[in-house]
Amino acid sequence: EAGVTQFPSHSVIEKGQTVTLRCDPISGHDNLYWYRRVMGKEIKFLLHFVKESKQDESGMPNNRFLAERTGGTYSTLKVQPAELEDSGVYFCASSVRTGGLETQYFGPGTRLLVL
């Protein structure tokens, strides 16, 4: 079974540019999460989709970040315009609830560097 995949693995952009990150969850997983770790900090939650609906977007830092999951399959996270403090590693995770428990499986992450 394929795991969570993310694209690109690395992205280097200049301040003010736009970057779009993609996440393909494990097939059949309705829950999709975005997290990020910026330099010097711990991994922080950004938002949670259930199928195509945003269940919780309390972790989104500001309106420069836009996440979508049209059709309830893959998800994109767009940063526009990117700022220096957006540099970090962006992780996607997916899960399916089984018997009340839910293990989140993480992708390899996208390493974003804003210059």
Site residues, another protein (CB under 8 A):
4, 6, 31, 33, 35, 37, 39-45, 48, 56, 58-59, 88-89, 91, 93, 97, 100-109, 111
Bridge partners (DSSP) listed for residue 79: 19, 65
Minimum distance from residue 43 beta carbon to another protein (Å): 4
**Minimum CB distance to another protein smaller for 10 or for 16:** 10
The CA–CA distances, whole Å, from 102 to 19, 73, 97 equal 30, 18, 5
Residue 34 CB-density burial (10 A; 0-12 exposed, 13-18 middle, 19+ buried): buried
Cα-Cα-Cα-Cα dihedral sign, residues 57, 59, 63, 67: negative
Q: Nearer Cβ to another protein, position 16 or 49? A: 49
Nearer to another protein, 58 or 62 (CB): 58
Residue whose CB is less far from another protein, 3 or 16: 3
Number of residues in the chain: 115
Closest distance between another protein and the C-beta of residue 7, in Å? 13
- Nearest approach, Cβ of residue 74 and another protein (Å): 16
CA-based end-to-end distance of the chain: 37
